[in-house]
Structure 1
């Protein structure tokens, strides 16, 4: 099973007969499996051998009754070896049922619509749906002209907006001197105990003692009616050298009811072994809510776990001393209050992410997990997570459905 992006589908695309080098038709079957499906993205991978050298730029899909389904052609995702992918949103399918679809791959470009990237070169890029903001990637290069500018630019991260787009719900780049842990930045990824070279140390969580993460370039970008995706090359630096290179990919799907965000990363070391380590509070893939949670509503934060709903401000954390606490959870969720609005963000893990995954929760609005890993020249660190943000307080059963869709996606079979 492919690691990345929602339904990571082991699909085979039937060889098409190209008409005037412009189109190729195919048929596919989508099977729900043992779970009922609602509002889930679906992906089918297409090999180079199936499409030849044709520059595919668009795709159309229709049900057996002729009703069309919005679909999008993209290049391969981060870990995929396919030539491209077909994406669409499956509105609903009962457990055990299947759906027949017909599609056409085309060389003419698709009409520009749906989710869009809007770049402010050298500083940040906004993701919008129409005029509604969904997320922002901050990628300004390291600026060490002043201590304040270094703090502002020593790591890259993604801000996330509320479902209605009216406010940022994540923390980071806050000018308030009372901000709790200013090194926390929205949706972010780093480790405070990294060893490289001849025993040298680096901390890309706090970015102290010369350490930092820096955006180098964009590697790929997609936008359309079903999803947006971008992939960036990010260098990880210690005090003296860049010791690793990351490919970081963020995908956002155009689904109803909230923001469905996919995070994937491949971290390589060109020079040799790198030991990745940390602790639950200062390492891994993490989400940090806006600092107003810490300032005003900490006692209203609720964590939703596979074993049920927690009490307000109650947290559970893996303890490095006793080596006890929550590990290898398939999902966790945090419900927090900003102003008069309550939100819930679900954090979804995968079995093939590195384990033991050690979880942390903070009532001021940060949660996530970390692990230990050793990168070798031929053994990069690859991870894949998903976040779901919506209005209101979610129930454990609803979060569990999101987790099932992530780790047990629909099955797609492509036919002649």
Structure 2
């Protein structure tokens, strides 16, 4: 069974899906969340990020996706395809759920779906390429090779109002023979906020992963093929990769300068800077407009966290973890999206706000 309370951050009243192993108990858990919501409101008064007026609304599901709007313009799209094995191409297009992210103005899709450079990269996504489970079986939920895949099972909760929006979904992880070996509860919590005078999206991503049959799971990989990551639209590698740069705790990088934790040589020079960063920021250009996406790691997530960056706009971090019957995995991250550039100081302020929760 998955936990009785959501793993994310929202404190608003919600409509709960009934029945099934993913049903939730609304009582004491929501009282705790309401108390937490009051505390977070008070905290927000003391930091540079403030809510922006408007209203969020989840649209009715449209086939394999559901869209979150803000004042009639798209914010996120949850992509929940049903696995189609009628062809290799169809399978590649449908082997994992993920979230698309739109620009703060709602006019531009900032993330990539199926196809393009590295077709398994999708928007905001979470998986590992070196998983061991059960009695030594191995699988890869990053590339979803063989019969491995992730499947959308249920939208547990969805809510939206003038304060923000949230969604909790159930996702199953399928192993080398297509069998379910893990249950995931994935949550996004979105606010329209203003940071130092610039409006953007604040997206909290959290995941609760537990074993499906009580057997242990070992999650592993490398910085390029595991963890929670963001992938920019295919337009970036096609047209604007030369304009991509990263902002890190040690300063603003140059276009073409991207760093990666060296998986082949853990003692390599530079690995220390690419490990346990509290945040990392990608600055890239789409349709002539520059955007900055800040990836914020929480100190409660497993460590060490090892980072990867690419000029085509895929970045994030991974970790190694074990999941057992008595020890599920809980992680939480925040993504900040805004037009224009950002400084080290601005990114660091967002990090401090996040980790103070």
Bin for the TM-score computed over the shorter chain: 0.7 to 0.9
Query: 1:180, 1:294 within 8 Å by CA — same for their partners in 2?
Result: yes
Residue deviations 1:27-82 (CA, integer Å, cap 9, x gap)? xxxxxxxxxxxxxxxx77xxxxxxxxxxxxxxxxxxxxxxxxxxx44589x99962
Query: 1:226, 1:253 within 8 Å by CA — same for their partners in 2?
Result: yes
Contiguous gaps of at least 5 residues in structure 2: 17-23, 48-53
Q: Residue 149 of structure 1 aligns to a residue in which SS?
A: helix
Tell me what 2:50 maps to.
none
Structure 1, 319-328 or 157-166: larger mean CA deviation: 319-328
Tell me what 1:391 maps to.
339
Query: 2:8, 2:188 within 8 Å by CA — same for their partners in 1?
Result: no
Residue deviations 1:342-380 (CA, integer Å, cap 9, x gap)? 000000001110011000000110000000011101111
Shift of 1:338: 1.1
300, 305, 308: which one aligns with 2:251: 308
The number of residues matched between the two structures is 323
Q: Distance in 2 between matches of 1:215 and 1:184?
A: 17
The structure-2 alpha-carbon separation of the partners of 1:186 and 1:353, relative to structure 1 and needing over 3 Å to count, comes to same
TM-score (norm. length: structure 1): 0.73
Tell me what 1:129 maps to.
70
Tell me what 1:142 maps to.
83
Superposed CA RMSD: 2.3
TM-score (norm. length: structure 2): 0.85
Tell me what 2:293 maps to.
345
Q: Residue 155 of structure 1 aligns to a residue in which SS?
A: coil
Task: Give the helix-richer structure, 1 or 2.
Answer: 2
Q: Distance in 2 between matches of 1:404 and 1:322?
A: 31
Map 1:74-85 to 2 at 5 A: 74=14, 82-84=29-31, 85=33
Tell me what 1:245 maps to.
183
Tell me what 1:278 maps to.
221
Shift of 1:299: 1.3
Task: Give the strand-richer structure, 1 or 2.
Answer: 1
Q: Residue 119 of structure 1 aligns to a residue in which SS?
A: coil
Tell me what 2:107 maps to.
166
User: Which entry has the higher C-alpha Rg, 1 or 2?
Assistant: 1
Map 1:196-235 to 2 at 5 A: 196-235=133-172
Q: Distance in 2 between matches of 1:312 and 1:188?
A: 25
Tell me what 1:268 maps to.
210
Q: Distance in 1 between matches of 2:82 and 2:317?
A: 27
Contiguous gaps of at least 5 residues in structure 1: 7-42, 45-71, 96-112, 410-416
Shift of 1:183: 0.5
Query: 1:115, 1:130 within 8 Å by CA — same for their partners in 2?
Result: yes
Moved segments of 4+, more than 4 Å: 2-6, 78-81, 87-92
